[in-house]
């Protein structure tokens, strides 16, 4: 196997790895392996497979984070930390209260940058997959795209709402979840109604109001804890 381009440059010139050293590689089809370096050139690194890896670093719960487009560069931080935590996908979504508007070439360039951030975060946290950053889409398109995900929850403060913990405990058999977090200003009532019609469940994240860049990450940590991903080496 030969690695070229930016990855080869990183291995050869940044990490300064040598022949005989081992490195974990994830292929484009998401196969993870421990590889031994056999030759290092400035723009090409040759490797051989030492061992295929079973994916032990991946959470048992597949989380798709649907994030309402926030202001400024907040989404960069959200993507980085969501990938570190274990998200399999981040879906940037234009919502009623989103101040940022992205479309066309500008949106495509943003997604390209976000994908690079996801890739770097996945490598840093030794993920077996490179999580995908979906193209920016409107709320209706997002609902259609996530219809087949078995458990879909949105963080929304309403009366008589169930807690996140209650929703998770009632769906212990579900191993894939979509988590919707609104932008600054939250989720619009009409958006909530549309989501509920598509099978989403509204849940509370607790007594305190969290910023958009905090809510999704806090909820992800709670989901992974409830699924046994934190503090259990046998999970």
Q: Residues 142, 67: contact at Cβ < 8 Å?
A: no
Q: Where are the beta strands (DSSP E) in the chain?
A: 2-4, 22-26, 32-41, 44-52, 62-68, 89-94, 132-133, 137-138, 151-155, 162-163, 176-181, 201-204
Q: Is it the case that residue 136 has pLDDT exceeding 70? A: yes
pLDDT of residue 200: 96
Query: What rounded mean pLDDT belongs to the chain?
Result: 89
Q: Residues 218, 205: contact at Cβ < 8 Å?
A: yes
Q: Residues 56, 40: contact at Cβ < 8 Å?
A: no
198 bridge partner residues: none
Q: Residues 81, 65: contact at Cβ < 8 Å?
A: no
Tens digit of each residue's pLDDT (9 = 90 or more) over 68-127 = 999 989 999 999 999 999 999 999 999 999 998 888 888 999 999 999 999 999 988 888
Q: Is it the case that residue 11 has pLDDT exceeding 90? A: no
Does residue 66 come out as left (phi exceeding 0), alpha (psi in the -120 to 50 range) or beta?
beta
pLDDT of residue 235: 43
The DSSP string of 104-144 is HHHHHHHHHHHHHHHHHHHHHTT-SS--EEPPPEEHHHHHH
Q: Which one has a higher pLDDT value, 53 or 229?
A: 229
Arithmetic mean of pLDDT, 190-213: 93
Q: Which one has a higher pLDDT value, 60 or 198?
A: 198
| Least confident window among 46-50, 106-110, 133-137, 152-156 | 46-50
Arithmetic mean of pLDDT, 130-136: 94
Arithmetic mean of pLDDT, 147-176: 90
Q: Which residues contact 121 (CB under 8 A, 6 or more apart)?
A: 79, 80, 81, 83, 84, 127
pLDDT of residue 174: 94
CA distance 143 to 194: 8
Q: pLDDT band for 56, please (50, 70, 90 cuts).
A: low
Angstrom CA distances, 198 to 72, 186, 194, stand at 30, 19, 7
Q: Of the spans 7-16, 20-29, 99-108, 207-216, which averages the highest pLDDT?
A: 207-216
Q: Is it the case that residue 160 has pLDDT exceeding 70? A: no
pTM of the complete model:
0.80
What does DSSP assign to residue 57? T
């Amino acid at each position: 196997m030969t690695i070229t381009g930016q990855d080869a440059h990183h291995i050869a010139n940044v990490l300064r790895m040598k022949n005989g050293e081992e490195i974990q590689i994830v292929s484009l089809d998401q196969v993870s392996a421990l590889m031994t370096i056999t030759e290092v050139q400035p723009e090409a690194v040759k490797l051989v497979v030492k061992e295929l890896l079973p994916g032990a670093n991946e959470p048992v719960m597949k989380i798709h984070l649907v994030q309402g487009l926030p202001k400024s560069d907040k989404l960069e931080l959200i993507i980085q930390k969501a990938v570190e935590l274990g998200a399999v996908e981040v879906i940037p979504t234009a919502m009623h209260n989103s101040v940022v508007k992205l479309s066309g070439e500008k949106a495509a360039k943003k997604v390209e940058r976000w994908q690079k951030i996801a890739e770097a975060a996945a490598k840093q946290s030794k993920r077996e997959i490179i999580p995908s950053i979906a193209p920016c889409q409107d709320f209706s398109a997002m609902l259609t795209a996530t219809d087949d995900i078995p458990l879909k929850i949105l963080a929304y403060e309403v009366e008589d709402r169930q807690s996140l913990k209650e929703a998770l405990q009632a769906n212990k058999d579900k191993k894939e979840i979509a988590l919707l977090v609104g932008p600054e200003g939250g989720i619009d009532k009409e958006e909530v109604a549309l989501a509920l019609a598509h099978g989403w469940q509204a849940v509370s994240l607790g007594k305190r109001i969290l910023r958009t860049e905090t809510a999704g990450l806090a909820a992800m940590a709670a989901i992974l804890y409830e699924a046994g991903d934190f503090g259990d080496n046998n999970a």
